[in-house]
Structure 1
Amino acid sequence: MEENKGIRINKYLSEAGFCSRRKADELIEQKRVTINGKIPEMGTKIFPNDEVHVDGKLIEAKEKPVYIAFNKPVGIVCTTDTKVEKDNIIDYINYPTRIFPIGRLDKASEGLILLTNDGDIVNKILRSRNNHGKEYLVKVNRPVTDDFVNRMANGIKILDTITKKCEVEKVTDYDFRIVLTQGLNRQIRRMCEALGYEVVKLKRIRVLNIQLDLPVGKYRDLTASELSTMKELLKGSNKTNEPQAKASKKPTRKFSGKNRRKN
C-alpha cells in the first residue's frame, strides 16, 4: 500500500483476497464494511494502520513479497534488532515495509546480502545441506600459496567441526575466491586464522545466481529473471533445520565461467 496515497476500499479487499472489487462495492452498499469502526462511503481510501472489518471480521492486506539485493558497507550490522544495534542494516536501508536479511555478513565484511519478507525462501537458502553457493573475494596479509588453497578447499577444523569441502581459487598473490555452501560464524576468517593468515578484506560477490552489481550502500529489487532462476535453483530444497555433517565427501569442483564474477 502506498503510504501517502492510500488505496480504495474495494481494491484493498480485492488485494487481500477477500472478494472481487464488484463484490466489495456490494458489501459497502450493504453497510457491512467498517473502517476504524465507521461505515465508509464508496471510494473511501485505506491508509496504513487503518482497520478494515467485514461483518465484524478483521481483514488484513496480504503482504507483497519483497526480494532485494543490497551491497552492505563495512560497519553495518546484519540484525533486525534496531533497539540494540545503532548501525543496523534495517535502519540503514530504511525500506518502507518490513524486511529481514537472509543470513548475515559480519560487521567488518562487505558485499552482497539479500533481504526479503519471505520466510520460506530464507530457510531454503540458509540450510547448508542444500548446497547453495555463496561466493567471496578475500584479501589476506600473506601470499596465497598452493598449499593454502588446497587446505582451504579440503576442509579446516574450526568451531569443533571440519568445514565442508569448497571451491577455492587464487586470484592474485594476496587475493583468492572461495564458494561456501555452509555458514559457520565468521567461517572464512576462522579458516584463514587456522592457517596463520589474517583477512584484510572480505567481500561477498554472489549468492546463488545473484551477482553483486551495485555501488556500496545501494540496493535494488531482484529482476523477474533473477527471481525465477533463484526459485528454480531452490526447488526441492529442505526447509527444516537438519544437523550438518562434519565433513563433505563431495569432490571439489572447479570454477566455471557462469560462476565467475562479471566485471
Structure 2
Amino acid sequence: MRLNRFIAFNSNYSRREADELIFNGHVTVNGKPVLVPGYEVKDDDKVSVLGKVISRSNFLYVKFYKPRGFLTSYGDPYGRKNLDDFEFFKKTKLAYSGRLDNDSEGLIFFSNDGSIIHRMQTPKYDVEKEYIVYTKRPLGDEEKLAMENGLEIDGYKFKKCSVEKIGRNKYRVIITEGKKRQIRNMFKHFNIEVERLVRIRIANITLGELKPGDFKFLTKDEITGLKECLRLE
C-alpha cells in the first residue's frame, strides 16, 4: 500500500494531510524520513507520524474486478482460472461476498471482517447489487414489468427488482438477492440470451475505474458508507 494511503487508512489524517506530513519530513519508515507519498509500505515496515507509530488496521476491505472466464473460488480441481491466479488473493485468502459465475464479470467485495461479510450475505439487509446487462434481443414492455414485479421460476418467487433500459439491448438491473445465475435465469425465462453481464455496484461500493483483474483497498468513506448500509453504525 502507498505510504499516504497507509497513513490515511490507519489514522484520522486525510490523504491530503498525509501528503503534507510526508513532504514536510514528519513521516518516518523504520526510523528514517521518507518524503515520497508513493513509497510502498511493506508488511514489516514501522511507520511513524510526528514521532507516533501508526498501528495497522486488523481488517482489510477490498474491491476487485473479476474478469470474465475466471471462477469465484480459490483453486479448481479441473485447472480452470480462479482467484488463486491473482497473487494478492492467493496470499491473503480473504473471504468474499458477491460470487459471479465464470461467464460474468465485475465487482466482488473481499474482507476478513466477518460481521460485514455475514451481513452482505444475509437477505434481510436487502443489499443492492447493480448490473449492466447486454442481451440478444430487447425485453417487451410486459416482460420488463413482470421481471420488475418478481418472477416465479421453478417454484421460487424472486423479489421485486429495478430494470431500466439504457440502450437498444442494454439494461441496468438492480436486485437485492443473489440467487445462482439469477439475472441470466430471469432473462432466460423470456427466451432472451444474456451476451454480457457486468456487476458495477454492491451497496455503496462501485467498480469505479477498475479494469478487469484490478483490485483496490476501500477508502475510509467507502467503509463508513458500507457499514451504514449494513446498519453496523
Tell me if TM exceeds 0.5.
yes
Asked if 2 retains the 8 angstrom alpha-carbon contact of 1:102 and 1:115, the reply is yes
Q: TM-score, normalised by structure 2?
A: 0.70
Q: Does 1:129 align with 2:124?
A: yes
**Secondary structure in structure 2 of the residue aligned to 1:235:** coil
> Letter of the aligned partner of 1:212 in structure 2?
L
**Secondary structure in structure 1 of the residue aligned to 2:139:** coil
Residues 93 and 115 from structure 1, CA distance in 2 versus in 1: closer, same or farther, beyond 3 angstroms?
farther
Percent identical among aligned pairs is: 35
Q: TM-score, normalised by structure 1?
A: 0.63
Residues 94 and 84 from structure 1, CA distance in 2 versus in 1: closer, same or farther, beyond 3 angstroms?
farther
**CA distance in structure 2 between the aligned counterparts of 1:63 and 1:232, rounded to whole angstroms:** 19
Question: Match of 2:167?
Answer: 172
Q: Does 1:74 align with 2:68?
A: yes
CA-to-partner distance for each residue in 1:203-234, whole Å, 9 max, x for gaps? 00100001111011100000110001101111
Question: Match of 1:99?
Answer: 94
Give the counterpart of 1:204 among 184, 195, 199: 199
Gaps of 5+ in 2: 1-42, 45-55
Give the counterpart of 2:107 among 102, 106, 112: 112
**CA distance in structure 2 between the aligned counterparts of 1:233 and 1:204, rounded to whole angstroms:** 18
**Secondary structure in structure 1 of the residue aligned to 2:100:** coil
**Secondary structure in structure 2 of the residue aligned to 1:153:** helix
Q: Does 1:225 align with 2:228?
A: no
**CA distance in structure 2 between the aligned counterparts of 1:67 and 1:231, rounded to whole angstroms:** 12
**Secondary structure in structure 1 of the residue aligned to 2:92:** coil
CA-to-partner distance for each residue in 1:221-255, whole Å, 9 max, x for gaps? 00110001101111169xxxxxxxxxxxxxxxxxx
**CA distance in structure 1 between the aligned counterparts of 2:58 and 2:78, rounded to whole angstroms:** 28
1:7-46 superposed matches below 5 A: none
**Count of aligned positions:** 178
State the structure with more CA Rg.
1
Residues 102 and 87 from structure 1, CA distance in 2 versus in 1: closer, same or farther, beyond 3 angstroms?
same
